[in-house]
Amino acid sequence: MIDFKGVFPPVVTPFTVNGAFDTKALKFNLEKYVETDLAGILVSGSFGEGAYLTQAEKVAVMKTARTVIPEDKLMIASTGTETTAGTIELTRIAADLGADSALVITPHFYDGLMDQATLIRHFTAVADASAIPILLYNVPLYTHLNMTVETILSLSSHDNIAGMKESSGDVVKIASILKSAPAFQVLTGSGSAFLGALTIGAIGGIMGIANLAPNEMVQMMNLTARGDIEAAAAIQRSMLAPNKAITTGYGVAGAKAAMDMLGYRGGHVRAPLVDLDSGSKDKLRAILQEADLLI
């Protein structure tokens, strides 16, 4: 079984001013990430505007990424769609293109009908059909669905479900899962609750803030591992404001603008999302400076 321990950025998908996928910019960013101690990369996730990509574009992103990501780092592909058949198909393509694992979001358009039995059926069918290990993706912020601890525990016994990305930010939930399934690999999706997640047993995180601050997030993990909670907490508190700015604040447009400021190539977002105006950029720059990410 793959070891998912570590920090993973859910990389942004850079677009040109005309809205086209900017292959060069993605490569540029990935080349910087692979020189750090990041454990791997997630492509086409919700932070990568995956909901705005066609299937052909997702294929292009995976192909590009795998050329840069070396074998000793993991490439996780986000392959969830609204249908079971569509998810199985995209997961098959991801495996063919060299993804090490597939992250599968809960289908959610008919969220009122996605009862726990339905979710179990869906994930089981996808995991049964997949050539690579599956990670469950629970993200109530976007799906308005919350997989219960019972559902997660039930799925955790599947041979091909390695773990999950838990993005509710609820550390009690992570604790409850690990109490009953200590070997299940839980990665938090919350950059603000990273320390809390680690102390209760999460093995790492797939967090938007790792696009901006990969080294700081890796360091937080190392400090926690050797029991230096105070130093880890200092980094955690320092990351709160930038993390908020690029999630509930400005969203992915904020992340892209921040990356531009920090020497990456964030590029443009797709409409209806909108790039940051200059006033917002000034505020964001001040937040990055206050957090010592920008000098």
Can you give the binding site for a copy of itself, defined by CB under 8 A? 19, 46, 51-52, 82-86, 107, 109-114, 118-119, 121-122, 125, 141-142, 144, 169-172, 175-176, 178-179, 190, 192-193, 195-196, 199-201, 224, 227-229, 232-233, 236-238, 240-241, 248, 251-252, 270-274
- Strands (DSSP E) contained in the chain are 6-8, 40-43, 74-78, 101-105, 134-138, 161-166, 185-188, 204-206
Using alpha carbons only, how large is the chain's radius of gyration in Å? Answer: 18
Is there a contact between 198 and 221 (Cβ–Cβ < 8 Å)? yes
Q: How far is the CB of 178 from a copy of itself (least distance, A)?
A: 7
Residue (11 or 171) nearer to a copy of itself, CB? 171
Residue (64 or 84) nearer to a copy of itself, CB? 84
Q: How far is the CB of 14 from a copy of itself (least distance, A)?
A: 16
- Report residue 272: phi and psi, to 5°: -80, -5
Which string of DSSP letters, residue by residue, matches 219-231? HHHHHHHTT-HHH
How is residue 107 annotated by DSSP?
A: P
Q: How far is the CB of 68 from a copy of itself (least distance, A)?
A: 26
Q: How far is the CB of 168 from a copy of itself (least distance, A)?
A: 11
Instruction: Report the alpha-carbon distance of residue 140 to residue 113 in Å, rounded.
Output: 15
Is there a contact between 284 and 256 (Cβ–Cβ < 8 Å)? no
Q: At which residue do the structure tokens 């938007």 appear? A: 208
**In what helix (H) or strand (E) does residue 261 lie, and over which residues does it extend?**
helix 251-261
Nearest to 10 by CA among 273, 191, 260: 191
Residue (34 or 125) nearer to a copy of itself, CB? 125
Residues designated catalytic: 165
Instruction: Report the alpha-carbon distance of residue 122 to residue 107 in Å, rounded.
Output: 9
Is there a contact between 161 and 123 (Cβ–Cβ < 8 Å)? yes
Q: How far is the CB of 122 from a copy of itself (least distance, A)?
A: 4
